[in-house]
């Protein structure tokens, strides 16, 4: 009986690499086909056609009458509990075009107001994520009070470096 078991023909060993190679080839073909379908526009609309690149026939809306007045950079030393930090602040004021000269004339007062406000701040206030947004709103309000209502539209922060 032992001879019968020993002489039985062995089953052929199937290659285990064939399904892996076949699966990999199908995955690459599927990825390539998906990329082509989405980039050519077959999948999600027209894609890059002549209509998408055609120039707009409607004229653009004209920009409002605005001007920008540059505020001189301000460097302020902020005293903390154990160290001194410096703030470098540079901004521009967006003004109505008719008031550009008026606001430029008031720049010394505007710089004084910004300088006084920034010096009065606590160093810990700069560490919060929403600090710049809050500071920008507070500074804009003070500038509008100095310049007069309707003259300054916005305060644009060009540089805000704390080190």
DSSP assignment of 59-88 equals PPPPPPSEEEEEEEEEEEEEE-SS-EEEEE
The Cα–Cα gap between 39 and 16 comes to 36
The per-residue pLDDT for 104 is 96
Q: Do both 44 and 93 map to the same domain?
A: no
Whether residue 9 lies inside any domain: the answer is no
Whether residue 83 lies inside any domain: the answer is yes
Secondary structure string (H, E, C) spanning 95-135: EEHHHHHHHHHCHHHHHHHHHHHHHHCCHHHHHCCCHHHHH
Q: Do both 88 and 128 map to the same domain?
A: yes
The per-residue pLDDT for 55 is 62
The whole domain housing 37 covers 14-57
The per-residue pLDDT for 51 is 56
Give me the tens of pLDDT residue by residue for the chain, a chain 163 residues long.
555 555 555 656 566 788 888 888 999 998 988 888 877 777 766 545 555 555 657 888 888 899 999 999 999 988 777 788 899 999 999 999 999 999 999 999 999 999 999 999 888 888 888 999 999 999 999 999 999 988 999 999 999 998 8
CA distances from 138 to 16, 67, 109, 163 (A): 70, 21, 16, 22
Q: Do both 150 and 82 map to the same domain?
A: yes
Count of Cβ atoms closer than 10 Å to residue 85 Cβ? 13
Q: Do both 95 and 49 map to the same domain?
A: no
Whether residue 5 lies inside any domain: the answer is no
The per-residue pLDDT for 163 is 85
Whether residue 7 lies inside any domain: the answer is no
Identify the domain boundary among 38, 57, 76: 57
Q: Do both 44 and 79 map to the same domain?
A: no
């Amino acid at each position: 009986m032992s001879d019968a078991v020993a002489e039985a023909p062995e089953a052929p060993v199937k290659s285990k690499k064939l399904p892996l190679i076949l699966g990999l080839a199908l995955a690459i073909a599927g990825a390539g086909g998906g990329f082509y379908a989405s980039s050519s526009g077959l999948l999600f609309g027209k894609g890059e056609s002549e209509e998408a690149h055609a120039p707009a026939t409607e004229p653009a809306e004209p920009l409002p009458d605005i001007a920008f007045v540059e505020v001189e950079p301000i460097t302020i030393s902020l005293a903390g509990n154990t160290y001194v930090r410096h703030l470098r602040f540079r901004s521009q004021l967006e003004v109505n075009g008719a008031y550009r000269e008026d606001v430029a004339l008031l720049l010394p007062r505007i710089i004084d107001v910004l300088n006084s406000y920034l010096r009065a701040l606590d160093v810990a206030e700069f560490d919060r994520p929403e600090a710049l947004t809050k500071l920008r709103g507070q500074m804009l309000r003070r500038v509008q009070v100095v310049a007069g209502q309707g003259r300054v539209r916005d305060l644009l922060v060009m540089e805000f470096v704390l080190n």
